[in-house]
Amino acid sequence: MSSHVGTTSSGLAALTSGAVLSPFTQLRKLLGATPAGHAEAIDLTIGEPREPMPPFVVDRLVEAASSYANYPPIRGTTELREAISGWAARRYGSAAAPDPEREVLPINGSREGLFLAALPAAGRKQVRGQPAILMCNPYYSAYIGGALAANAEPVYLNATAATGHLPDLEELAQDRPLLERTVALYLCSPANPQGAVASAAYIARALELARTYDFLLFFDECYSEIYSAAPPPGALQVAATTPDRFANLVVFNSLSKRSNLPGLRSGFCAGDPGFIETFAELRNMVAPQMPGPTQHASAAVWADETHVEANRAAYRQKYEVCDFVLGNKYGYRRPAGGFFLWLDVSNFGGAAQATVTLWQRAGVKVLPGAFLAQVGRDGTNPGANYLRLALVRDAATVGEALERLVVVFA
């Protein structure tokens, strides 16, 4: 069934004792001082977009430079909230547009929001025993950080090839005692790192469980605008068709991947108006405001789709390179969304050994999938046999890295 944290430490102790480390810290420890096996090393570990950012961003920042002299509104400017709502209306239909006054909250990048949201989620529902926060496994580090900070039990729902690289919700539905003490469920679509896209029916089922057991569904859609064919359905879009609209749902998104602006630290959450109100008050006490110029520039970026279409075209070109170089090797299939490869290296000693070999022999740095997941109750780590490659370099460099990989694992 569900799989639980594979450490002896819990809560904040796990964060301070080193029982839980970021995947990049683990990678540094794994490679140590091992030299690259190529004069021109290629790093495909960090999902930091390198495509061009929108050309007008700097001008918009300058336009609002005088607002640095004022404390920015914690709930965001009307301009920004309306731009986010307008984007949702264009992307998912007018019925799915959140109310900019009650259902939208700008945040300093989605990571901050995904982490902090665990605190009010744990506080809003009284449970018997320790609260549980469920998450897809592999997971994004902010999910486990939020769970541990809230002193909740992190429960890992393995997302494997057998389950379509998304957690098995029907299996979860059979565990009523767990669901009764669940305060939040983190899901990501398109999934990081597998690229799987949740269907509308899957989202509806997750939302049904959240409402039946009164927990929050935290839906991470940071890769929603990078896709190969059909646009992924959104949780707001699905929820808008239900009588309870956005109840028990909070969606997170940002400009980092969509618009190649990871340094702007600009995102939003939207959904359940009661939770948004509570979360806004929490942020008003403990979180930093988004600077005024950033809000002004962000509103312009959410209103523009030209650069987003160019971004998708760039990633399609990279995936064409992947199709050509990899074919069906290492279980490769072009993912439905996102910009990661999730390659099966079980025939080459597993993720950690393959990572070291690839670095030593070819100077290609990748992330072991095991570092993005936890060992579950069944004693297995769903990422143990996979490598994650971030397709953030140009198409030629991606092609060179993959060609080296194929030679090493020939």
Question: In CATH, what number is assigned to the domain containing residue 189?
Answer: 3.40.640.10
Residues 6+ away with beta carbon under 8 Å from 323: 334
Shared domain for 335 and 226, answered yes or no, is: no
Q: Give the pLDDT of residue 377.
A: 63
| pLDDT of residue 4 exceeding 60 | no
Shared domain for 169 and 258, answered yes or no, is: yes
Shared domain for 252 and 350, answered yes or no, is: no
Residue 337 phi/psi, 5-degree rounding, is -160, 170
Mean pLDDT of 317-328: 98
What is the dihedral sign for C-alpha 125, 129, 130, 134? negative
* pLDDT, tens digit, 9 for 90 and up, residues 117-153: 999 999 999 999 999 999 999 999 999 999 999 999 9
Shared domain for 197 and 99, answered yes or no, is: yes
* pLDDT, tens digit, 9 for 90 and up, residues 340-386: 999 999 999 999 999 999 999 999 999 999 999 997 766 789 999 99
Shared domain for 275 and 319, answered yes or no, is: no
Query: Of 252, 269, 304, which residue is a domain's last?
Result: 304
Shared domain for 195 and 250, answered yes or no, is: yes
CATH number at residue 375: 3.90.1150.10
Amino acid at 218: F
Domain of 28, in residue numbers: 3-52+307-408
**Paired tokens of 9:** 């430490």
Query: Of 247, 271, 304, which residue is a domain's last?
Result: 304
Q: 9: pLDDT confidence band, cut at 50, 70 and 90? A: low
Shared domain for 214 and 324, answered yes or no, is: no
Are 76 and 106 contacting, i.e. CB atoms less than 8 angstroms apart? yes
* pLDDT, tens digit, 9 for 90 and up, residues 306-321: 999 999 999 999 999 9
- What are the residue ranges of helices labelled H in 68-128? 78-92, 109-116, 118-124
Shared domain for 280 and 315, answered yes or no, is: no
Shared domain for 244 and 359, answered yes or no, is: no
- What total of structural domains would you count in the chain? 2
Shared domain for 283 and 345, answered yes or no, is: no
Shared domain for 74 and 41, answered yes or no, is: no
Are 291 and 58 contacting, i.e. CB atoms less than 8 angstroms apart? no
Burial class (CB in 10 A: 0-12, 13-18, 19+), 277: middle
Shared domain for 105 and 163, answered yes or no, is: yes
Query: Of 270, 304, 338, which residue is a domain's last?
Result: 304
Query: Can you give the pTM of this predicted structure?
Result: 0.96
How many Å apart are CA 97 and CA 82, to the nearest integer?
Answer: 10
